[in-house]
Structure 1
Amino acid sequence: MKKRRKIILISGAVLIAIMLINIGQYAITRWYPINIDWETINDSVNSEEVSQDNYICYGKENGITNIPFMMGCKIILQSIETGKKHVVLEDINPLKGVAESAIIGDNILYYKQFMGEQYDGPPQAMNLKSKKSEWKTLPEDIDLINYGIEGHHLYYYESNNSPKEREVYCYNLKTGEQEKIAEGRQWETLKVLGEYVYLFDQEKSELVAISINDRQRKTWLLQMENPQELVDITNLDEQNLAVIIFNEKIVKLDIETGEQETILSLNNLESAKQQKENDDRWYGAMARGGSLYVYENERYLYVYRLNLETRKTELIVDGSKDAHYKAKDEFSSYVTFCRDYIACIYQYKKSTRIDVYNYNGEFVKEL
C-alpha cells in the first residue's frame, strides 16, 4: 500500500514538474525575442525549399509531452549546426492546426494556420526580434503556396478566384498599398528571383517575367509535352533559369535570347523508373557551385546532383533505403536546401525527424 502511494506521489510530482516546465517555456517563448542576423537572404524564400543560413522552420502539433498544452500547435525555428530550437509561435487553441507553410525574410516569419480543415484567416507576419505580430491587414485572399517577398513588397495571386482568372498583386507591407501587376490568367506558379517576378500560365504554357523595377515584361513559350504539367523555377546564374517541368524534364532557359535547352530528363532518373505512371511526384531545385541540386518527393525523398558542365547526374540521397521511414505509414516529407547542408524533413503525426546531409550526400547527423 505504501509502495503504491509512493509511486502515485512520485508520478504526480513528475507530472506537476512537466506542467511547470511547459508553463515556464510557454511564457518565455511567447515574449523572449529571437534575433538572428542572417548571413544570406534568398529570393522567394520558402521554408520547404530554400532556407536562409543554416536554419530550418517547421510546424508541429502539441502532444502529451506538452502538458498542460497538449492541444494546438507550434512553429519551430531550428539551427542545424547547434540543434537549438526556437519556439517562434505556440498556439494552445485546441482547434488550431499547424501552419501549412512559412516564409522567413530578414527576421520576419510569415505563416498561416488551420482551424480544423480550413485556413484560419489571412496569413500573419511576426517580427522575430520582438515576437510581435505585424501587418495584420495582409490581404485575405493570398494563395499561401505561390507568393514571394522582395524587400517590403509581397507578390501574390488570389486564391479565391477561378483558376483561369487569377490576378497578380504587389502589396506594400509597410503602407498597405496594393498594385495589380498582371491580369487574370491561369497562373499556377509565382516566384521572385533577382529583379523579376516569374509567373507560369498553365493554360498557354507561357512563362512570364515581370520586372520589379519598371513592370516591363518578357514572355517565353515553354516546350512541353504535356501543357497541363506544373512548373517550378530557380536561378542557374545571372542569365539562365532552370525551369522544372514536372514529370518531364529540366530546361535551361536563357532570359536574354529565349533559347531553351533540356539539361535533364526527369523520367530517366533512377527513382522515376521505380514508380508507377500515376504516382504523384514533386520537385524542387537549387543551383550551387557549378551543380544543380534537384529533389524529387514521391513517397520518399531523393536528391540528385547534376553537374552543369558534364551533365552527369548522381543520386546522392536515397530516402527509400531508410528503414525507419518504411516502418511508419503516415508522414509528409520535403527537402530544405540550407547554406551548408541539405535537410530531409519527415513529419509524422506526433513527431518530426530531420536527417542532415552535406552537399556531397554524406550523412552528417539526425536532429
Structure 2
Amino acid sequence: MKNVLPKFQRPIQGIDEPRTEVSHWDKAMDAYDAKNYRTSLIETINYINPELLKGKDTSSEINLVRGQGSAEIQVNISETTFSVNAPFLRATDTTNKVALYRKIAEVNFNPLTLAQIHLKEDTLWFEYEAPISLCQPYKVYDVLREICVYADDYDDEFVEKYKADFYKETNTQPLAGEEIDQVWQQISTVLTEYKDYSAFFKEKRWDAFQWDIIVISLLKIVNMPYVHGTLRTKLQEYVYNLFNNQIDFQHRIDKGTNFMTQLCEKSKEDFMKDIYHADAFISLKWRSSVQILQDDFKRLEATVNRYVNDGDNFSLCYFLQYNFLYTLYNYNVEEVHKNAIYDVLEKVSGLEPQVAAPKLLETYRSFLNGSTTAASGKKGLFAKLFG
C-alpha cells in the first residue's frame, strides 16, 4: 500500500442544523448587565438558534415548541419567568419501572446540574424554571443544552434498557435517494480505508497509529449531522473512551479495533436505520469563538513543534488530521472555521505526508493566530473584529 493520507469527503448538508450566531451573544450579555432581562433571553435564544424566533411576535409572552430527537422542548418566556419543559419518555405496563425510576433519581443527582426529571402520571419530563432576573445568558445556554443533550441521549438508552416508550415519534425526514447513495458511499469509503490502513500499520508494526486511524474513521462518521439513534450513541461512547487517558492505551486500541470490526460487518440497511434528518432545538456541540479555538489549538503547539523540528511529517499529518476532526466533533464552529477544516482535509486527501504536512500546518497556524479563512477568502466574524 502506498504511504498516502486517507481520503476525506465533507458530509452533505444537514437540514435545519442549528447554527449559533455569535453576534447575538454580546447583545444578550449587554442586555442582562443593563437589567433588560427579557431582551437578554430573546438574544440568547437567537444566539442558540436564530430560526426559533423567526417570524414570531416577541413583544408579549413567548412560547416555543421544537423537537430534539424524540423529546419535545417547550420554552416559555413571560414578563417575570423563564421555564423549560421537555417530555421525553412514557412508562407503560411493560416498562421496568423500578429500575427506570431508580436510574432517573441517579441522573437527577448527576449528571444533571440545573434541570430535573419529574414524573407526571406516566410521562417523564425535564423541567426548569427561574425568574428572568436570574437568567444570565450562560445559565440559559447551559440549561437548554443540558436538557437537550440528556433528553436526546437517554431516550434511546431507556427505551432499550427499561422498555419505556418514546413520548412521541421523532420528527424525522429520510434522506433522499441521491443522498442515501452519497452517504453510504462515504461511509463505505471510511470503513474500507480503515481496513486498508489498519492492515498497513499492522504490517509495519506501527501499533500506535492503529489508534489514529480508528479515531479518524469514527470521527468522520459521527461528524455527519444526520447520524442519530443508537449508532451515534455508540460512536460517541467509543470516541470518549479513545480519548480517555485514564484507560490503558493498548486497551483503548483493542476495544476500538473490536468496535471497528463490528461497524465493518454492519449492512447498509443496519446503518441507514440511524441515518436521517431530524429536528433539533440546539446544537449538542459546545459553542465556539476564535478565542476558544485559539486556546484549544494552543495546547497542541508543543507536540506540533516537536514533529516539525524532528521532520516527522507522517506523525504531524495524522496528529493534525484527527485534531481537526475532533474540533468539529466538539464545537459548533462558525462556517468559516468548518469550511477551512473541510478544505484542507480534502486538499491533502491521498497526498504523501511530506506534501500534505505544510498544507495542514498552514491551516493549524491560522487557527492558532485567529486568522482563519476558508477557500472563499472571507474572514470569520471574530477574525474581523479581533484579528
TM-score (norm 1): 0.29
Higher RCO (C-alpha 8 Å, min separation 6): 2
- Is the strand fraction higher in 1 or 2? 1
- Is the helix fraction higher in 1 or 2? 2
TM-score (norm 2): 0.28
